[in-house]
Amino acid sequence: MEPQFSSVCCIDSGAGSGQYNMEFDMRLMRAFADGAFQQAFGEGSCLWRFYRWSPPAVSLGRNQNPAEIDRERCRAEGVDVVVRPTGGRAVFHADELTYSFFAVTPLPNEVIYQMVHETIARALSSVGVEAEFCRSQPDFRARYASPESVSCFTASARYELQVGGRKIAGSAQRRNGNVILQHGSLPLSARHRQISRYLAGASRELVEAVDADMERKTASLDEFSGAGYADLVQLLIAEAGKSAGSGAKLLTSGEIERLEGFHQSL
């Protein structure tokens, strides 16, 4: 059974730079931690945020070695480089739908992970894409020790979504007490596989290994459906609202940015 929230809020904050997108997530997490969000929108409320990246960006997991990414090439090609507040490995964000989910809840991380992906799976089903849970949990420590593990999309955690055994949505979490942030990427096209372009000092063999891994283990929406960002956002808002029983409340960026303390230094 899905966790129930007194109200479900949603915001489509549109396209932003890498720094803007990650800071927005961190500011929202702080707004849940200090109670500013609940004061404005109600106790027991949760929030789904949907967004895109402009310009494209490479995001690194918070504990990933930044030297793995060729910042000079990224700069030359107009690609942002940013560190996520969550763990995991590098993601190339170009043509995708990115989501964030925020709540104050004592429920275990795994329960939230499953709930969020169930919501995404229902939205995908509405456009003819039947995604299934990954049922196994890889040994991430062993996986991250291999050079080709630089991309987050080449390993699937339990309850992440796959189509035909290939990962179609990648997610990560961060918890501060009872405050949880989960965010993730759903590629709309195969551009996420271009991560190998931005590896620092990678040999031809490593680039080929990463490319082959991405081809074999990852999927994108355009392989199965003609739906795009706007279609999915509307479906996700509808599905997310069902957990409150009364539909989702749509918020604007202006309403979020007026939260008490939102613009204080991180």
Active-site residues, by number, are 152
DSSP state of 94: S
Place of tokens 């929030």: 47
Whole-number CA gyration radius for the chain:
18
Alpha carbons within 13 A on the beta-carbon side of 40:
21
How far apart CA 136 and CA 233 sit, in angstroms, is 28
Alpha helices of the chain — where are they, by DSSP H? 18-33, 36-41, 71-76, 109-126, 140-144, 204-217, 229-241, 253-257
- Pairing mode of beta strands 7-16, 45-53: parallel
- Give the residue from 26, 56, 75 showing the smallest Cα distance to 187: 56
How far apart CA 57 and CA 74 sit, in angstroms, is 8
Place of tokens 């989960």: 182
How far apart CA 249 and CA 26 sit, in angstroms, is 21
